[in-house]
């Protein structure tokens, strides 16, 4: 790991942590008042790791950024690392040999399905009518897809501006 790589991850992690600090507290307030709507911003938790993975295309960049952003937004450190893991999962599965755009979205869909299942008790999903349950899953998946899409956009713009040239593992591959 180079200093440029670590500093790039730190910058992304701190910026992501500042954003997640606000998102975490907004989500907490929404969960207490209208839990159904709180998942509409769930995709923001994927944003920092997605930016790091897309910009750097290096193994564990998403997890490292998740840890750093989690330290910034300390009460939510577990959430930051958990979401970063799912952003990284699609690349881990193929041993970081492929960095295609669809993999980012596959991770988003996967976590968009898994999160409501893991949080079923918190959201009392068993008590929801079927149409509400389907809407809940669709809202979560759409939020995750939007968060990843925004992360890809930010990373691509940063790359185009010449950010993190020294921190990248290899030249970017066009999808």
Q: What angle do CA 108, 113, 119 make, to 5 degrees?
A: 115
Q: What is the mean pLDDT of each run of 10 residues along the chain (175 residues)?
A: 90 94 87 84 94 94 95 86 94 93 96 92 86 91 97 95 77 55
Q: What is the pLDDT of residue 28?
A: 85
What integer pLDDT is reported at residue 51 of this predicted model?
97
Output the pLDDT for position 74.
Answer: 84
100: left (phi over 0), alpha (psi -120 to 50) or beta: beta
Nearest C-alpha neighbor of 45 from the set 146, 154, 136, 113: 146
């Amino acid at each position: 790991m180079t200093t440029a790589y670590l500093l790039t991850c730190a910058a992304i992690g701190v910026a992501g942590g500042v954003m997640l600090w606000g998102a975490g507290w907004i989500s907490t307030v929404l969960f207490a008042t209208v839990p159904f709507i709180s998942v509409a911003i769930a995709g923001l938790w994927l944003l920092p790791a997605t930016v790091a993975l897309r910009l750097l295309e290096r193994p564990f960049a998403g997890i490292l950024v998740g840890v750093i952003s989690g330290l910034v937004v300390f009460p939510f450190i577990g959430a930051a690392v958990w979401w970063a893991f799912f952003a990284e999962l699609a690349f881990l599965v193929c041993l970081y040999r492929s960095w295609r755009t669809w993999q980012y979205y596959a991770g988003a869909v996967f976590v968009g399905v898994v999160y409501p299942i893991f949080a079923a008790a918190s959201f009392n999903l068993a008590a929801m009518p079927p149409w509400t349950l389907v809407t809940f899953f669709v809202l979560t998946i759409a939020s995750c897809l939007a968060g990843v899409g925004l992360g890809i956009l930010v990373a691509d713009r940063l790359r185009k501006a010449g950010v993190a040239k020294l921190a990248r593992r290899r030249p970017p591959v066009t999808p």
